Structure 1
Amino acid sequence: MTWRMGGASALALLLALSAAAQAPTPPLPPPRPDRPPVQTDEARSEKPAPGEAPAEAKAPDADDPEAACLARLAELGLKFESRPPVQEKSCSIENPVLLSALADDVQVAPPSLMACPVAEQLSKWMKEAVAPEAERQFQSAPTKLLIGTSYQCRDQRNGEKLSEHAFGNGVDVMGFEFAKRAPLSIDSHPENSPEAAFQESVRKAACPIFTTVLGPGSDAAHGDHLHLDLRQRKGDYRICQ
């Protein structure tokens, strides 16, 4: 049997088919309680890759003292490189940094390897004592901290035990450079001179910050530098000479 359709009927049929094709896709039914919802592409892009920690987990762990110390150095504006742990004979540094500058672009010359806490205390000493005293005595900001020895695998000078330098736990400060005056070396300066007043002030200010401070007048071995370290002793005993 042959079917024939008028023009009006054909047009109505075509319009109906077109409307059906353009109709929106009906929404999916809600997921069954025993099945997780389908993830969108956006949700998948936010999910960390296998083996990758979430972003919030990558923040420094306050319970990890080594990571926390490195984070504080960065916050203070120090320039440094974190280095792998040092192990050389009986000498070692658990959390070493190669320090090249303190805050306000005070250079550390040469860049020196030390334990992270020593770098942090040097920054504290520079900010709270050295810079204010330099402005008071010389009307000039310090630009460079001159280091003689930082990490060095050796015994104490008396040979009784390992030096704090063997653990990156001490530095020898040889002097300072300034923006508006000549460099100053640690030495026995003329009494009542600005140089003597500056050196004595920064030496005394180092004593609450470091556990050992030795300089000119303490013994013959420390006549040309300030030895600063963080040696731990019973009862928080400190040496300041």
Structure 2
Amino acid sequence: MNLLGLKAGGMISIMVLTLMLASGAWAQAPTAPLPPPRPDRPARPEPDAEPRAESPPPTETPAEKLASEDDGTHGACLDRLSKLGLRFEKRPPVQEGRCSIENPVLLSSLSNGVEIAPASLMACPVAESLARWMSEVVAPEAERQFQTAPTKLLIGTSYQCRDQRNGAKLSEHALGNGVDVMGFEFAKRSPLAIASQTENSPEANFQSAIQKAACPIFNTVLGPGSDADHGDHLHLDLRQRKGDYRICQ
């Protein structure tokens, strides 16, 4: 090929290249992918679709609720003692091993000034039941049999941390839930001790009547004739049993 031919061929190649650029043939060539985002700049998280609800206010725990209910029950009992005219001291809860009283009072007198001798520690409901027994049963029966009013209720045992005499379980005395009545003093006659009384005597009639009439008020009533352990006192307690079962002997 001569020199003239080489020049002509070069001119043709330049013209072809120019036409390709003008027609955008190279514009269809794939472009290089963009680099991934830098690891030190994480994508901004999407905002929550809904605002978070505020946490509800704290509620009472079951224990706190129970304590509150207990305080209300105990307070109501103390109010009733005051309205009945009883003299007593509110005492802090008792806890002595397995023995305890949740709502103790030291009772010193009942309605109408009937003295508790000695002043005795017991659960509030027991004090309330004693007041009811004295006003509804003992005082009217003393007037009927002796024509006089009781002035003193003689207590042998109220709260005492011990088992039952047979050792089977905890005594109601260990819960402040029972009292042992040893006898009475009166305004116009000699004292009366709980014991086996002469049959058909005013003392026997009085003792029998107040023992039987204690049964609707207390859950357990034991006295002379029930067993050897209760020949010299009346045991009265508020022990709860299934089906509201009561022992009255």
Corresponding residue number in structure 1 for 2:78: 70
> What is the aligned-residue identity percentage?
78
Aligned to 2:166: 158
Supply the AA of the counterpart residue of 2:159: Y
Q: Counterparts in 2 of 1:158-237, with a 5 A limit?
A: 158-237=166-245
> Please, which of 122, 126, 131 is the counterpart of residue 139 of structure 2?
131
- Quote the Cα distance in structure 1 between the aligned partners of 2:86 and 2:208: 26
How does the TM-score come out when normalised to structure 1?
Answer: 0.74
Which deviations, in whole Å up to 9, do the C-alpha atoms of 1:50-91 show, x marking residues without a partner? xxxxxxxxxxx9981100000000000000000000000100
Partner of 1:79: 87
What residue is the counterpart of 2:109 in the other structure?
101
Alpha-carbon distance in 2 for matches of 1:62, 1:68: 10
Runs of 5+ consecutive residues of structure 2 not aligned to the other structure: 1-68
**CA 1:97/1:62 → structure 2, altered by over 3 Å: closer, same or farther?**
closer
Instruction: Give the aligned CA root-mean-square deviation in angstroms.
Output: 1.2
> Is the 1:62–1:68 Cα contact (8 Å) retained in structure 2?
no
CA shift for structure 1 position 152: 0.1
User: Paired residues, what number?
Assistant: 181
- Name the SS of the counterpart of 2:243 in structure 1: helix
- Structure 2 Cα separation of the partners of residues 122 and 198 of structure 1: 17
The alpha-carbon distance between structure 1 residues 88 and 177, as it changes in their structure 2 partners (threshold 3 A), is same
CA distance in 2, matches of 1:206, 1:98: 22
- TM-score computed with the length of structure 2 as normaliser: 0.72
Q: What's 1:8 paired with?
A: none
Inter-partner Cα distance in structure 2 for 1:190 and 1:126: 23
Which portions of structure 1, spanning 4 or more consecutive aligned residues, are displaced by more than 4 angstroms? none
Q: CA deviation at 1:218?
A: 0.2
Where 1:161 maps in the other structure, the secondary structure is coil
Return the alpha-carbon distance in structure 2 between the equivalents of residues 205 and 168 of structure 1.
22
Question: How far, CA to CA, are the matches of 1:204 and 1:76 in structure 2?
Answer: 23
Shift of 1:165: 0.1
Deviations 1:124-177 (A, max 9, x none): 000000000000000000000000000000000000100000000000000000
SS of match in other structure, 2:213: helix
C-alpha distance in 2 between matches for 1:73 and 1:188 = 33
Stretches of structure 1 that go unaligned for 5 or more consecutive residues are 1-60
Tell me, what secondary structure is at the counterpart of 1:191? coil
Is the radius of gyration larger for structure 1 or structure 2?
Answer: 2
Distance 2:85 2:73 in 1: 19
Q: What displacement does 1:118 show?
A: 0.1
